[in-house]
């Protein structure tokens, strides 16, 4: 077996292996989605390693680049995302070999940490390779219509699916909104306390993440001193307004923000508002949740070099939003 870095010319072959190994699942697998996630990412192109038996591609391991900042310094990170092994070559340790080799490569690149949201089947493998469980991402829920939610839950027995589908064009309306609203004016005053790690936001990032993503449609709420990106998610219990990222200027009152968000929820027919509810996340301070169920993804994390792990474990000083962790 030989291992080498992946290139853009390998993308069609990689997509075929992902489909063969994993099926379509909840997330569409396409060259366009791979290009968006692993090539166009404003934090940098993904390190990708491939395993071959002769001329046959038998394994792939991709780490997506990310950057976190506490307002003073930045941390270069990777997220362990796409991985697949050919069904005829299971049990040969390909997943482990590729993952450990990719970590060594990332250390040489100056990457500080790796994290991901594994499922219950893959989590034990990561733990054996040194990952630690951070915990479930707390999710806050603001229930707007409990009776309607209950009725919907009883009626909608067959509502399933992730709401993800392949989208051919970028969201031009959202690009125009971003340009007009200029959320960049709030990026330095996002409401985080000093020393709290959050995504290193930029206008390029916001356009890439929300307007150019090819598998989901996002919307925005724009008001004086307020910019929010959200997604509409259909559930068995009804329509959800999912706040993915929120940017607020310092002089906006919480009551005004709540009023604007609730008005948007009413306009789209949402019965609940959800948001990341890590203690340091601004939305938690703004929106009073009526429930905090353990429904968020399990987050795992591994040290690579030159950081204090106590800041990251248990989300002690780490404040990812739903927009940071959903979708990938």
DSSP string, 51-103: EEETTEEEEEEEEEEEEEE-SS-EEEEEEEEEEEE-GGGTTSSHHHHHHHHHH
Q: Would you state the pLDDT for residue 292?
A: 63
Tell me the β-bridge partners of 84: 60
CA dist 80 and 62 (Å) reads 7
Q: Would you state the pLDDT for residue 7?
A: 95
Q: Would you state the pLDDT for residue 180?
A: 78
CA dist 306 and 5 (Å) reads 25
CA dist 195 and 239 (Å) reads 35
- 133 contacts: CB under 8 Å, gap ≥ 6: 123, 127, 298, 299, 300
User: Among the residues of the chain, which ranges form H helices?
Assistant: 11-22, 31-34, 94-109, 123-128, 146-155, 172-181, 203-206, 254-268, 282-286, 322-325
Q: Tens of pLDDT along the chain (328 residues)?
A: 999 999 999 999 999 999 999 877 667 789 999 999 999 999 999 999 999 999 999 999 999 999 999 888 999 999 999 999 999 999 999 999 999 999 999 999 999 999 999 999 999 999 999 999 999 988 888 899 999 999 999 988 776 655 666 676 678 888 888 887 777 776 665 556 678 899 999 999 999 999 999 999 999 998 878 889 999 999 999 999 999 998 887 778 888 888 999 999 999 999 999 988 776 666 666 777 665 666 788 999 999 999 999 999 989 899 899 999 988 7
Q: CA torsion, points 264, 328, 211, 319, in degrees to nearest 10?
A: 60
End-to-end CA distance of the chain, in Å? 29
Closest CA to 7 of 70, 53, 57: 57
Tokens coding 43: 């934090």
CA dist 302 and 118 (Å) reads 13
Tokens coding 211: 């307007």
Burial of 228: CB neighbours in 10 Å, binned 0-12, 13-18, 19+: buried
Please report the domains of the chain, with CATH numbers, ordered by start residue. 2-133 (3.40.630.30), 139-293 (3.40.630)
Please give the biggest Cα pair distance in the chain: 63
**Number of Cβ within a 10 Å radius of residue 185:** 12
Residue given tokens 């994993």 in the structure block: 22
CA dist 15 and 29 (Å) reads 7
Tell me the β-bridge partners of 197: 318
pTM: 0.91
Q: Residues 15, 32: contact at Cβ < 8 Å?
A: no
CA dist 274 and 139 (Å) reads 7
Q: What is the distance of C-alpha 295 from the center of its chain?
A: 15
Q: Would you state the pLDDT for residue 218?
A: 94
Q: Would you state the pLDDT for residue 109?
A: 97
Q: CA torsion, points 27, 315, 265, 206, in degrees to nearest 10?
A: -60
Q: Would you state the pLDDT for residue 166?
A: 66
Compute φ and ψ for 122, nearest 5 degrees.
-90, -20
**Number of Cβ within a 10 Å radius of residue 100:** 14
């Amino acid at each position: 077996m030989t291992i080498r870095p992946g290139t853009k010319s390998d993308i069609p072959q990689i997509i075929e292996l992902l489909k063969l190994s994993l099926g379509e699942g909840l997330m569409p697998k396409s060259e366009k989605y791979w290009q968006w996630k692993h090539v166009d990412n404003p934090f940098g192109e993904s390190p990708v390693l491939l395993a071959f038996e002769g001329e046959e591609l038998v394994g792939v391991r991709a780490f997506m680049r990310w950057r976190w900042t506490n307002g003073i310094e930045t941390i270069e990170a990777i997220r362990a995302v796409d991985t697949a092994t050919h069904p005829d070559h299971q049990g040969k340790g390909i997943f482990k070999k590729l993952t450990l080799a990719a970590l060594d490569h990332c250390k040489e690149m100056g990457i500080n940490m790796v994290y991901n949201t594994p499922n219950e089947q893959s989590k034990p493998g990561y733990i054996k390779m040194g990952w630690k469980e951070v915990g479930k991402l707390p999710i806050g829920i603001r229930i707007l219509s409990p009776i309607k939610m209950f009725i919907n839950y009883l009626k909608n027995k067959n509502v399933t699916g992730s709401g993800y589908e392949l989208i051919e064009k970028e969201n031009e309306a959202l690009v125009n909104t971003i340009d007009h609203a200029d959320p960049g004016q709030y990026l330095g005053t996002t409401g985080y306390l000093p020393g709290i790690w959050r995504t290193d936001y930029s206008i390029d990032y916001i356009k890439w993440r929300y307007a150019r993503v090819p598998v989901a449609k996002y919307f925005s709420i724009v008001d004086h001193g307020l910019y929010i990106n959200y997604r509409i998610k259909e559930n068995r219990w009804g329509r959800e307004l999912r706040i993915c990222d929120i940017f607020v200027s310092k002089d906006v009152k919480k009551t005004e923000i709540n009023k604007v968000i609730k008005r948007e929820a009413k306009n789209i027919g949402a019965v609940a508002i959800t948001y990341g509810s890590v203690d340091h996340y601004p939305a938690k301070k703004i929106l009073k949740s009526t429930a905090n169920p353990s429904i968020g993804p399990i987050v795992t994390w591994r040290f690579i070099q030159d950081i204090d792990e106590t800041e990251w474990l248990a989300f002690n000083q780490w404040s990812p939003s739903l927009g940071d962790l959903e979708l990938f």
